[in-house]
Structure 1
Amino acid sequence: MAELIREGFSRGIWTGIITGLGEDTVEVVLNGAPVPDVDVAPVSANRHKITVPIRAEVIEDGVQSFVIQLRDGSTLGHFTLAAGSALDDDMRAEIDLLRAELDLLKRAFRRHCAETSA
């Protein structure tokens, strides 16, 4: 069974290592279409390096999700690219929600500690 190990994103190229690939073929999909120029090269007996160049024309405001999958459709993993000012509002809203949840948990924990120590 193939497994994806993420290496990271640098200079417009996302890289990772795939172990246990065997004879399967890998493709990367963005918005339902294959991403061109993806390279999967053997590194050692059971390891392949995948490089995914991100073309400028796919970078736009919002979040882009790249799905790495075998040709049979089974998903190995994914990575996302987020950009633009619209993202600022999403991040602020998410942080506000996390803060509210943290405050709720702190109150519940303090109440629990007070009840069990008394």
Structure 2
Amino acid sequence: MSHPVLTQSQLRAGIWEFTVTCTATPDLIASHEGQVLPDLRCTQGSGPDSWRCSLPVPAAILHDGLQTIVIRSADGITIGSLAILSGAALADDIRAEIDLLRCELDLLKAAFRQQHHPKTD
């Protein structure tokens, strides 16, 4: 038996929908921070090896920062994940990263100018 492969994914109205390709009904586990999430459902898709799966994202796991939901096969192989970023902490991280990139760009511009327009004394 082949391992399931997650081929398409989307998050809509709080429900993570994805397609899994495998030869038999997929035996999957969804988890967040090591806790199994309930209500993962898979139904036959458009082809014989295609399965449409859905997982309601519990509101209780949504809070500031990065939250990751992981989908694993029953034998523990990770086949996909959904990362959700939110909140003020994220905004601070992005601002800090942009500030760092601006500083690096200023250094590069100064080095470029010095290389192509050397000062003559």
| TM class by smaller structure | 0.7 to 0.9
Structure showing greater Rg: 2
* Separation in 2, partners of 1:75, 1:88: 29
Give the gaps of 5 or more residues in structure 2: 113-121
Taking only the aligned residue pairs, the percentage that are identical comes to 37
Q: What is the aligned partner in structure 2 of residue 41 from structure 1?
A: 43
TM-score by length of 1: 0.77
Q: What is the aligned partner in structure 2 of residue 51 from structure 1?
A: 54
Amino acid across the alignment from 2:44: P
Mark the CA change 1:92 to 1:71 in structure 2 (over 3 Å): closer, same or farther: same
Q: How does 1:27-106 map to 2 (within 5 A)?
A: 27-43=29-45, 44-99=47-102
Give the gaps of 5 or more residues in structure 1: 110-118
Paired residues, number: 113
Q: What is the aligned partner in structure 2 of residue 5 from structure 1?
A: 7
SS of structure 2 residue aligned to 1:49: strand
1:21/1:48 contact within 8 Å kept: no
* Separation in 2, partners of 1:22, 1:108: 59
| 1:96 CA displacement | 3.6
* Separation in 2, partners of 1:86, 1:47: 38
RMSD of aligned alpha carbons: 2.7
* Separation in 2, partners of 1:55, 1:84: 17
Mark the CA change 1:89 to 1:23 in structure 2 (over 3 Å): closer, same or farther: same
1:3/1:21 contact within 8 Å kept: no
* Separation in 2, partners of 1:6, 1:39: 15
